Amino acid sequence: MAIIVTFDLPGAGQDLYDEVIDRVTDGKGFTRFTDVGNPGLISHAAGPAEGGFRVTEVWESAEALEAHAKTFGPILAALGHADLRPTIIPAHNVVVR
């Protein structure tokens, strides 16, 4: 079952997001899903939110997210965000272009 995942990063800005993406992709950037190396990612959006930065993603399953978390979890921890807990809800409907 697809899931919707929202990461709220209080007090963070685009600089933290860009650093995580840089480390996850070994500096290649993130413009295609293949850049993050996990086929379970369906959609990704990131931008400023009140008091911080927000990333919202749709994953094919919780297992796909957990597999990818093994990559970005240690990176977030190294950047001082080890306690980050996303909001995860089941997706009722997912439409992509």
Question: pLDDT tens across 27-79, in order?
Answer: 999 998 888 877 899 999 999 999 999 999 999 999 999 999 998 899 999 99
Amino acid 67: pLDDT = 92
Residue 89's alpha-carbon distances to 76, 93, 96, in angstroms, are 21, 12, 18
Q: Rounded to whole angstroms, how far apart are CA atoms 85 and 22?
A: 21
Q: List the beta bridge partners of residue 45.
A: 56
Strands of 52-59's sheet in order across? 41-49, 52-59, 3-10, 87-90
Ramachandran quadrant class, 54 (left: phi over 0; alpha: psi -120 to 50; beta: rest): beta
Quick one: average pLDDT of 71-93?
93
